[in-house]
Amino acid sequence: MTDVSAGRRLTVAIAGATGVVGTAVREILAEREYPVGELRLLASERSAGRRLPFGGHDVAVDVLAADSFADVDLAFFAAGGAASKRFAPAAAAAGALVIDKSSAFRSDPEVPLVVPEVNPDALAAHKGIVATPNCSTIQMVVALKPLYDAAGIERVVVSTYQAVSGSGKKGPDELRRQAPRVLAGKPAEAAAYPYQIAFNLLPHIDDFLPGGFTKEEQKMVDETQKIFADPDLKVAPTCVRVPVFNSHSEAVNVQTRRRLSLAEARALLAAAPGVELIDDPTKLSYPMPIDASGLDPVFVGRLREDPTIENGLHFWCVSDNLRKGAALNAVQIAEELLRRELV
């Protein structure tokens, strides 16, 4: 990122530095050569003293506390909602610009909810905290953005196929533990999930709400409307946990406000920032989670018209939920803030 790395170097903190997302933030900051002058790694007391590599040397992990943010320019929060609610306001009050991965501030009208390929102008309204959306929302809105800009969107029906890494370390650990037990004819012994995840699907992510939707599904509704600044945009989600280690997949049905031909939609998606179109049924070419893992784009394929509704399109999209769905989106926000001289 040579275009934004020139000039002063920043003091950057990562809260939740030893977790899955915090680790990915640290790695992506190094990969993309973000101009970090000093890096502060913050976590719980049990992680204090660990040393993690960055920029050719090891950095010690300190305990996350309210006074951890003196002279910090930019603070990434990847420690969960409770820690964000407790410490992010203190970080912002100390002068740090907070980029928060949790759900703590996403619904706050004073806090921008940002996906840089979709609504970067929202960053100008920040008041010390910027929220990054849920992983399933991020990849969907990146794919929807070119269609929305060209034709508007009336309604989205989405079914997600979400990898166990979306549950943190406990998800992959459980799948690795259960799979050989099930293959050996032994009980799966569920712990991280309410039921066996190996060779199974769970149509249930997060708590159920009174109307029958889950919190994960309601996030997709609320966040998509906020990101597009369109409260009339209808979103009907079903979120499913699947026995895949990494990368979320989504089947998306879109009803646009004016008709887009298949050729128009294909051209729009092929040219969209952050999107890679992989769509050739004659060669069995379509995105799969095994191919998206470790990569940055939102991969789109299986693009086709829906003849059952007016202005209907179907597509399939896949993205690494730990990269674009979490850490990468946060780092891209940091890059955009620097580019706009907002940090």
Please, what are the domains in the chain?
2-133+326-339 (3.40.50.720), 137-320 (3.30.360.10)
Task: Tell how strand 97-100 and strand 129-131 pair up.
Answer: parallel
Which amino acid is present at 130?
V
Question: Which residue is catalytic, options 135, 204, 314, 317?
Answer: 135
Residue 238 CB-density burial (10 A; 0-12 exposed, 13-18 middle, 19+ buried): middle
Distances (CA, A) of 39 to 58, 72, 88, 130: 10, 9, 17, 20
Which amino acid is present at 108?
D
CB 168 within 8 A of CB 22: no
Whether 317 is a known active-site residue: answer no
CA contacts within 13 A on the Cβ side of 59 = 22
Read off the tokens for 314.
């179907």
CB 90 within 8 A of CB 98: no
Q: DSSP states of 65-100 as a string?
A: -TTTTTT-SEEEE-S-HHHHHHHHHHHHHTTPEEEE
Whether 248 is a known active-site residue: answer yes
Beta bridge partners of 205: none
Residues 44, 63: Cα–Cα separation, whole Å: 5
Question: Which residue is catalytic, options 126, 239, 248, 317?
Answer: 248
Residues 273, 296: Cα–Cα separation, whole Å: 11
Q: Taking the mean position of all CA atoms in its chain, how far away is CA 9?
A: 26
Cα Rg of the chain (Å, integer):
20
pLDDT of residue 3: 52
CB 134 within 8 A of CB 216: yes
| Locus of tokens 């994960």 | 216
pLDDT tens for the chain, 343 residues: list them. 445 545 789 999 999 999 989 999 999 999 999 999 999 999 999 998 999 999 899 999 999 999 999 999 999 999 889 999 999 999 999 999 999 999 999 999 999 999 999 999 999 999 999 999 999 999 999 999 999 999 999 999 999 999 999 998 999 999 999 999 999 999 999 999 999 999 999 999 999 999 999 999 999 999 999 999 999 999 999 999 999 999 999 999 999 999 999 999 999 999 999 999 999 999 999 999 999 999 999 999 999 999 999 999 999 999 999 999 999 999 999 999 999 998 8
**Which string of b and e fits 59-75 if b means at least 16 CB within 10 Å?**
bebbebeeebbeebbbb
Read off the tokens for 249.
């997949």
| Locus of tokens 């549950």 | 167
- Residue 190 phi/psi, 5-degree rounding, is -70, 135
Q: What confidence tens digit (pLDDT) does each residue in 238-281 have?
A: 999 999 999 999 999 999 999 999 999 999 999 999 999 999 99
pLDDT of residue 8: 80
